[in-house]
Structure 1
Amino acid sequence: MGTDIHGWVECRTWRDGLDYDATAWCRAISLSMLGMPRDYDGFACLFGVRDFQAMWRPVAANRGLPPDTSPEVHAEHATWAASAFAETWLTWPEARAVDWTEPAIPLTTHITRYHRAPDGTLRLIHHHDWSRAFARASGINTLTTSPTDLADDYPEGTEWTTGTTLYRAERACRRDAVPEDGPWAPVWAAMETLAGVHGDENVRLVAWFDE
């Protein structure tokens, strides 16, 4: 069963029914309009959802809906009834402050395969390799272990070489889970644009998940 994310970028501004100098949170643009797919790496890194291997310290996990959620977003969330879970929110200042170089919690998160050229330079072949070829080169049983199980005995930087192929234990950082040009780029762009008009503190993402 898959996991989907739903929600809206909200903006705090004037709206009909308010005094001329009052503001309230209003829905601005939905995650579906921004093309958000099932991005499990991003879900885990940002919100702790589907982080089955405890890879990340989530940025904004299980905060619930803000008490001042806009009426429209609150009503949409209510239509999901009991199927919605992991409700949360993330402000634009928080998103801007994320340290994308922060490493994952496990000391090893994946095995990368390279080709070594005659001059010694390495060319990336596959970023996440957990193949029989790696098992033969390393002597590790890839059927009964996972890359994160290797951290104690084979920390980041451990290498195995067979012929011109080099396998290296590596450790992901947040940017690997949420690439700069990945599916979250339109969300950040929308929030940044709204913040330029209404102020950083007046833009946030409100989201929830379902399976």
Structure 2
Amino acid sequence: MGTDIHGYVECRAWGPGLAPGESAWQSAISLSVLGTTRDYPAFDCLFGVRSWGRWEPIAADRGLPADAAARTVAELESWGGAAFGVTWLGWDEVLAIDWDEPALPRATDIARYRRLPDQRLELVHRSVWSRGFARASGVDTLTTDPGRISELWDEGTEWHVGNTVFRAERARRRDAVPPPAGGDGNHKDGDSSWEPVWSVMRTLAGVHGEQHVRLVVWFDE
């Protein structure tokens, strides 16, 4: 059984039934339309759902906004007791995320890289605890708990075996959730299922303002 995400991008704008100049939160588009899929690293990093204790989540367990759009409320209520982890995240908060913030120290992993002919390192696996690493480091990976990596080695410690490089390192937020395209030099349009969400929020913020766009989500298993 897996965990799925549901919800809406909302924006604060004029709508039917409001007087001229008035505004209220409106359900702009459903995550189902945007093709948002199961993404456990992102669920953990952003919302603290399916957490392995690797991140300090950005927006965990905030509940449903008191002024949530009627359509959002109705959709959430249709899930009944199956829905959990209800929370929300503002576009202004997305823009303020430090995408280079590392995971918590206990989440240190051993990454495996391949050294290319031009001496650049190409990531092969984000996290390994293999016989190959055992031979390179001298540690018994069968009896040593990988949860102790941060106790055993400083972040950045490396082991070199031919063109293979093992490195003790922590993931950055950008590794769990690719940031909005155009927000940094390391991300391109279409790199993740989150880019459609970021793109819609960015567009709405350009019309209604950064503080008037948010993502309201919940989960089910």
**The two structures share one fold, judged by TM-score above 0.5:** yes
Tell me, what secondary structure is at the counterpart of 1:72?
Answer: helix
Separation in 2 of the partners of 1:205 and 1:65?
A: 11
Task: Return the letter of the residue paired with 1:206.
Answer: V
Q: 4+ residue stretches of structure 1 with deviation over 3 A?
A: 115-119, 139-148
Using structure 2 for the length normalisation, give the TM-score.
0.87
Matches within 5 A, 1:37-116: 37-52=37-52, 54-106=53-105, 109-116=108-115
Per the TM alignment, residue 176 of structure 1 is displaced from its structure 2 partner at its CA by 0.9
Contact kept? 2:89, 2:215, Cα under 8 Å: yes
Change (3 A) 1:104 1:19: same
| Residue 188 (structure 1) aligned with residue 186 (structure 2) | no
Task: Return the letter of the residue paired with 1:149.
Answer: R
The aligned counterpart of 2:188 is: none
Task: Return the letter of the residue paired with 1:67.
Answer: A
Using structure 1 for the length normalisation, give the TM-score.
0.90
Matches within 5 A, 1:121-140: 121-128=119-126, 129-140=128-139
Per the TM alignment, residue 148 of structure 1 is displaced from its structure 2 partner at its CA by 4.0
Q: What is the total number of aligned residue pairs between the two structures?
A: 209
Identity score, percent: 57
Task: Return the letter of the residue paired with 1:8.
Answer: Y
Contact kept? 2:34, 2:197, Cα under 8 Å: yes
Separation in 2 of the partners of 1:83 and 1:114?
A: 41
State the Cα deviation string for residues 90-146 of structure 1 (Å, max 9, x = none): 111111111101111126522222334688x25325132332222232233444556
The aligned counterpart of 1:210 is: 220
Contact kept? 1:31, 1:187, Cα under 8 Å: yes
The aligned counterpart of 2:187 is: none
Q: Give unpaired runs (5+ residues) of structure 1.
A: none
Tell me, what secondary structure is at the counterpart of 1:151?
Answer: helix
Separation in 2 of the partners of 1:141 and 1:15?
A: 63
The aligned counterpart of 2:27 is: 27
Separation in 2 of the partners of 1:17 and 1:69?
A: 16
The aligned counterpart of 1:3 is: 3
| Residue 151 (structure 1) aligned with residue 150 (structure 2) | yes
State the Cα deviation string for residues 77-100 of structure 1 (Å, max 9, x = none): 011111111100111111111110
Q: Give unpaired runs (5+ residues) of structure 2.
A: 180-190
CA RMSD of aligned residues (A): 2.0
Contact kept? 1:46, 1:61, Cα under 8 Å: yes
Tell me, what secondary structure is at the counterpart of 1:193?
Answer: helix
